[in-house]
Structure 1
Amino acid sequence: MITIHSLVAVIPYEANDHLTDLNQTANTPMTHRCLNVLLVEDDPGDALLLQTLLTQTESVRFDLVYATRLAEGLESLSKTAFDIMLLDLSLPDSVGLETIDKVRTYTLDVPIIVLTGLDDEEIAMQAVQAGAQDYLAKGDLNENMLARAIRYAVERHRLQTELACAQRQEEENLKQANDELEMRVEARTAELQEANAHLQDEIAERIKAEREREALVNHLMAANQSLEELTEEVQQSHREIEQLIAEIPSILIGVEADNRISQWNAKAENALALSRAGVLGCTLSDSPMRWDTQTVLEGVRRCRELQRAIELDNVNFTRADRTNGFLRLTISPFQLSSADDLGVLILGQDITDRRLLESQLAQAQKLEAIGQLAAGIAHEINTPTQYVSDNTRFLQEAFHDLATLMNQYEAVCQAAQHDALTDAHLSAVEALATDIDAPYLRDEIPLAIQQSLEGLERVATIVRAMKDFSHPGGEEKVSTDLNKAIESTITVARNEWKYVADMVVDFDPDLPDVPCLIGDINQVILNIMVNAAHAIGDLVQAGNLSKGTITVKTRRVDDAVEIRIKDTGGGIPEAIQNKIFDPFFTTKEVGRGTGQGLAIAHGVVVEKHHGTISFETEIGRGSTFIIRLPLHPPVPEAT
């Protein structure tokens, strides 16, 4: 049964009565599927013949749109979705196989059956190779052959489209696997392409015996067999992929669109201490996994929203041995069967041991810095200790003299109590007071005590600064008084700068506390301060400068705290300005620097604190390093 749209307007008047009857027949209700057919044929007689043959077919209802020129047909394709296109190769505006090329250039979504008045196998083969699904000679057509050819062409096109979609889906999934998985999938894809090419060859061969129904049936049976074999190969590919997924050395969790877990490999079982059977089918929120569920769910949501991979660092979880650990997760989207269904693939690594090593390395680097400053710190402590020691000896001697004088006073007092006091007693006291220079002791003892207290306070200040600087800190950021932290660092590094520079501080007294990892920030300040002292020291050693200045300034700038460390050294040459934050880059002689100081500073400020570090420099006038730390750091997510 067929519905005609535009055929009445182009077929001669004598055929119109017959077309009217066909339209009435086409509107009769049918339970069979309706196929939308686009016929491009400039011969009204041939068009009427094709329409008549399709009308006589009762198994399928056809909805026919008719065009006499290729341009009209392409315009119809832009407006309507067709299941099949019947295309004549001799049109007023296009002739021969280039007609197929024009259609295929316009769209690949509609299967084509070529119609011609010639029964030429060579042309048939060329038409199929050009992109047609089938080739029919008009003079040999009957209603069953035409309907069957349309159905088979539509079905073949559907299967090829589904196969292409399946291949694209497989390729997207395989991107998440390791190099071995990619190689295996590429090999399997090549096999599928070869199988598809083999299927196309079989279809082309089958056209040769189109006029013989029995031969056509045999060819279709062979095609079905090939399709079954292809399906089995695809299933085998799925099984191989499942096996490879199970052997991936990373945690792998597949999640459906409704957040139900569909994949769980052996590494996930071992790392999370949960069996595959115990988690498959569970949702992420209801699963027995002992990890930071809210962080993972938020990462999955962001992955689907942005439709790109999301990385989560330092996700808390409970390890198989019941200890706390950290995971690094990569959450990647992948398309499921429906365009609206977006699953995710979670790849994870247990980074607990690496985090521990990083923490130990950071502490070791900090202790190494303190070790390098040890001689200077010892000197800083030795100076006040020396005059505390000298004053203590003075007080010891003064106490001995004063004790002797006190004994003499006691003798005078006892003589007075017994009315035996004589001028000799008083002369002895006066002589002893003169001998020990009592007025001098009265004036100097308080000064010696005050100097000793100041010296001890200086030592205590240095010790507190060392303790504050070298403290490893915690894993989480805490609100910190940066002014106090910088003062401690200045104290620790004093011996590095005091001989070559004066230290000027300009702290904002109203500076708010900053959430930070204080141990890491101390390391950053120390690295930059030591670099500033070395830059000035080079000029002092060369005789170009008697003494320089290091200025440390803190201010609040918008929603951040800014630290500026300025020196009056020689500046940074333009040729190396883009390299100073590179690891192991240094211009210092061997033994004076490893080239890690500014690289560590950049990593701490930018990566750990989401801040910025930059510099301003002028040759011959010095450099200023500018650190900005946000007062409200963003919530960590992958980036």
Structure 2
Amino acid sequence: MNNRLIKVLLIEDNPGDARLLQELLMEAKPVQFELKQVDRLSQGLQQLQENDFNVILLDLSLPDTQGLETFVKLHDRARNTPIVVITGLNDETVAISAVQLGAQDYLLKDQVNSDVFARSIRYAIERKRAEQKIREQAALLDIATDAILVRDLTSRILFWNKGAEHLYGWSAETVLGKTDDLLYPQSSPQSQEAQKILFEQGEWSGELHQVTKNGKEVIVESRWTLMRDDNRQPKSILIVGTNVTERKKLEAQFFRAQRLESVGTLASGLAHDLNNILTPILVTSQLLQIKLPSLNEQNRQLLKMMEANTKRGADIIKQVLLFARGIEGEQVVFRLEPLILEIQQIVEETFPKSITTDVNICLELWAMTGNATQIHQVFMNLCINARDAMPDGGTLTISAQNVLIDEERAQRSFDAKVGSFIKVTVADTGMGIAPETIDRIFEPFFTTKEYGKGTGLGLSTVIGIIKGHAGFVNVESEVGKGTKFNFFLPALVAKEPVQVTDLEILVGNNELVLVVDDEAAMRESSRVVLEAYNYQVLTACNGIEALELYIKHKDKVSLVLMDLMMPGMDGSITISTIQRINPKVKIIAVSGSAFSIETAREANSDIQKFLPKPYTAEELVKIVTQVCRVNISKLI
């Protein structure tokens, strides 16, 4: 500023005072001033329209206006130009009022000299620039999407930008001067700990759980900075907050999906071993009932109990695997209306009469492709959960409608996708789900029911089936008000249904079957069943032994029953090697792991059939009979 000319507008009607002030400015060093003097306020306003001035010197007593009104009229027209009021001793009170209304400074005419005069003008210009800069910074703060606020050391709010208004809902006029307790539903240990660290370290950052004007809880990523005065003493706290509520929800969905995927991977691995254990028990219990017809009723009932419990164990494994591996079995095009109406009938006939059912299905509901039996299971699991959540009665609502999900809506849910979906809602008016447990409800074996009243597999099965159908789920629940499960199933192009022909159980014709499995119980039980149905059986405990036996008996072996998961040379490698020896060999691949079956199916299209463990004696004989008796050209 010292290197340029300062243009001054003097509004003064006393010629003597005007001459004195001009002389004082001429004496001021080293700054140069250019003075334009007028004797009326109206002339001053005209000059402001025609020229730019750095500062205005204003006498409050003019021919066309008097007192504080003089400043108010000028200030309204020249808000961006600093004004220094010049007055006599008798008007000092009025001059002070002008400063309170926006004047940068005031000077008494009989006390001013050149240095004081020049310094006051320079101060007025620097102060006006500082105010302008603050206004510009405040405007930038209002543009910011983050919530920015300043509070003093007693928690009173001093500054509140537009971002804070958008996040919390309160206007600046409402909160200024109030404490920030309104951001917390109750005493906040988080906030107290943050303030302690702030005074120790000068800054703090972390997540805070706060509330908005309408009582909604939000998660805010907050950064606190301790502001200090010129003596380095704390004077205020600057707080910048970012609303991360939606991001935290998506993260929770992502971590829940990862956790479920990990459990699914573990379940798939365990299933193979468990199925190897269950299959011999199941097959043997069924075979003994056939082989020992003279058993007394008590022993026969024991065998039936063994068979039933083994099947129940196998069903539990299948439920665990459903959420891990998704859809399996036959897929057909079907509509949900008949299935929902069937569910309604079951509910109304079997649920307590204190539970009423309300079904709403939109007209022309889209069709879908999938496994109708599994979708039926989804409805039943959700309806049973709803029943259990309403021990004193309530309303069970099932609705279905067509929805289109766009990019914006898809981003709100971790699993959501863009496209055409059938939205199905199963809602109850029951006890609701506590917030601390809602993130765990889809975990296998997690249950809030009393011991012995729930396996914890219902909802894990639901999520597995829906994900297997390329769908997704969201849950809304409030304690004491009920729960709403919304699941979305893609409306897909129809596929041709797979035709399955029922085969009667046929007795073998002395065909030779090579059974390969590293589990002795599996080999023995399979051998006993097949021999009981007039098949000859060779057994091998690993891939190397299987190759040796096949090379030795290749002209007689009609079929190879091959376990896919074996140590050393696994089933897939063994199958490929045998097929190089005889490309027309008939093979049934067996595994307790869906992943192994799918991998083998993709890698080798020449495998005739796949038999998942655990299987019954009937299933084993049926599939062996089918492959042995059907011409190979029809199967590959």
TM-score when normalising by structure 2: 0.34
Larger Rg: 1
Question: By percentage of residues, which structure has more helix?
Answer: 1
Larger RCO (CA within 8 A; separation ≥ 6): 2
Question: By percentage of residues, which structure has more strand?
Answer: 2
